[in-house]
Amino acid sequence: MSAAVTLPDEPPSYPEEHYLNNGYSLKSWLTTTDHKRIAWLFFFALTFMFLIGGTAAALIRIELITPAGDLVSDGTYSRLFSVHGIVMVWFFLIPSIPNTFGNFLLPMMIGARDMAFPRINLLSWYVYMIGALAIIASLFAGAPDAGWTFYTPLSTQYANDATIIAAVGVFIVGFSTIMTALNFVVTIHRLRAPGMTWFRLPLFVWSMYAVAVLMLLATPVLAITLLMVTVSSWLHIAIFNPAIGGDPLLFQHMFWFYSHPAVYIMLIPSMGVVSELITTFARKQVFGYEVMVFSMLMISIASFFVWGHHMFVAGESTFSALVFSLMTFVVSVPSAIKIFNWTTTLYKGTISFDTPMLYGVSFIGLFLVGGLTGVMLASTGLDMDLHGTYFVIAHFHYIMVGAAVTAYMGAIHYWWPKITGRMYPEMWGRFAAITMFIGFNATFGPQFLLGVAGMPRRYHTYPPQFQVLNEASSAGAVVLAIGYIMPFCYLIWSLRYGKIAPPNPWGATGLEWQTASPPPEHNFGGEIPVVSRKPYDYKHYDAEHGEWQGRP
Amino acid sequence: MSTKPEQVKVQFETLDQQQSADRLGMWIFLATETMLFGGLFFGYTAMHTLHPQIFDKASHELEWQLEFINTAILLTSGLTMALAEFAVAAKRRWLTLFLLILTLFFGAWFLTAKGIEYLDDFSNGIVPFVAGGYHYSGLQPQIAKLFFNFYFALTGLHAFHMSIGMLLLMLMAWLTFRWRDPDKMIRRLRIVGFYWAFIDVAWITIYTTIYLVPR
ipTM of the complex: 0.92
Are A114 and B10 in contact (CB < 8 Å)? yes
d(CA B43, nearest CA chain A) in Å: 7
A389 three-class SS? strand
- Partner-chain contact A253 B32, CB within 8 Å: no
| Smallest CA–CA distance from B16 into chain A, residue | A190
Q: Which residues contact A162 (CB under 8 A, 6 or more apart)?
A: A138, A139, A141, A142, A143, A144, A145
pLDDT value of residue B1: 45
Cα gap B130→A236, rounded to integer Å = 11
Of B13, B20, B28, the CB nearest to A182: B28
Nearest to B43 among A112, A218, A250 (CB): A250
CA distance A218 to chain B (A): 8
**Neighbour count for residue A347 (Cβ, 10 Å):** 10
Instruction: Please report, for residues A402, A487, A538, the alpha-carbon distance to residue A482 in angstroms, rounded to integers and kept in the order given.
Output: 15, 9, 36
HSE at residue B45, side-chain half, CA atoms within 13 A, is: 12
CA distance B95 to chain A (A): 31
**Other beta carbons less than 10 A from residue B130's beta carbon:** 11
When the pLDDT of each residue in chain B is averaged and rounded to a whole number, the result is 93
Nearest-CA distance A120 → chain B (Å): 11
pLDDT at residue A1, rounded to an integer: 37
- Whether the CB-CB separation of A448 and A391 falls below 8 Å is answered with yes
Is A185 in contact with B40 (Cβ distance < 8 A)?
Answer: no
Of A113, A228, A237, the CB nearest to B10: A113
Burial A481-506 (b: 16+ CB within 10 A, else e): bebbebbeebbeebeeebbebbbbbb
A contact test, residue of B11, B20, B130, B149 with most A CBs within 10 A: B11
Decide if A221 and B39 are in contact by the 8 Å CB cutoff.
yes
Say yes or no for a CB contact (<8 Å) between B36 and A231: no
* Chain B residues with beta carbon closer than 8 angstroms to that of A526: 1
Q: How far is B195 from chain A (nearest CA, A)?
A: 16
List strand residue ranges (DSSP E) for B22-179, in order: none
Which residues of A fall within a CB distance of 8 Å from B50?
A: 245, 247
Tell me the chain B residues in contact with residue A221 when contact means C-beta distances shorter than 8 Å: 35-36, 38-39, 42
Q: b vs e for A37-73, b when ≥16 Cβ sit within 10 Å of the residue's Cβ?
A: bbbbbbbebbeebbebbbebbbbbbebbebeebebbe
Query: Which residue positions in chain A have pLDDT lower than 50?
Result: 1-4, 8
Please give the pLDDT value at position A2. Answer: 41
Identity at B85, one-letter amino acid code: E
pLDDT single digits (tens) B57-87: 999 999 899 999 999 999 999 999 999 999 9
**pLDDT at residue A548, rounded to an integer:** 82
Average pLDDT of B156-184?
95
Q: What is the C-alpha separation between A263 and A270, in angstroms, rounded?
A: 12
Rounded-to-integer distance, Cα A39 and Cα A25, Å: 17
Q: How far, in Å, CA of A500 to CA of A497, rounded?
A: 9
The alpha-carbon gap from A88 to the nearest alpha carbon of chain B, in Å, equals 24
**Nearest residue on chain B to A523, judged by CA atoms?**
B11
Q: Between chains, do B35 and A218 touch, taking CB under 8 Å as contact?
A: yes
Residue B126 main-chain phi, psi, to 5 deg: -125, 35
What is the structure's pLDDT at A542?
84
Smallest Cα–Cα separation from A419: which of A48, A96, A1, A104?
A104
d(CA B170, nearest CA chain A) in Å: 22
Q: Which residues pair with A548 in a beta bridge?
A: A541
> What backbone phi and psi angles, to 5 degrees, belong to B59?
-65, -25
| b/e code B131-157 from CB counts within 10 Å (16+ = b) | eebbebeeebbebbbbbbbbbbbbbeb
Rounded to two decimals, the pTM is 0.94
Give the contacts of A99 (CB within 8 A, at least 6 positions apart): A39, A42, A46, A124, A125, A128, A180
Distance from CA of A523 to the nearest CA of B (A): 10
Contacts of A113 in chain B (CB under 8 A): 10-11
Interface mutation target, options A32, A239, A304, A311, chain B, most CBs of B under 10 Å: A239
Asked if B143 and A244 come within 8 Å (Cβ–Cβ), the reply is yes
Contacts of A430 (CB under 8 A, 6+ apart): A353, A354, A355, A358
How far apart CA A155 and CA A158 sit, in angstroms, is 6
A interface residues, B as partner, C-beta within 8 Å = 107, 112-118, 178, 182, 185-186, 189-191, 216-221, 223-225, 228, 231, 235-239, 244-247, 250, 253-254, 522, 526-528
Q: Under DSSP, is residue A517 helix (H, G, I), strand (E, B) or coil? A: coil
Indicate which of A34, A189, A190 best probes the interface with B, i.e. most B CBs within 10 Å of its own CB. Answer: A190
pLDDT of residue A243: 83
Contact status, residue A446 vs residue A480, Cβ threshold 8 Å: no
Radius of gyration (Cα) for chain B, nearest Å? Answer: 21
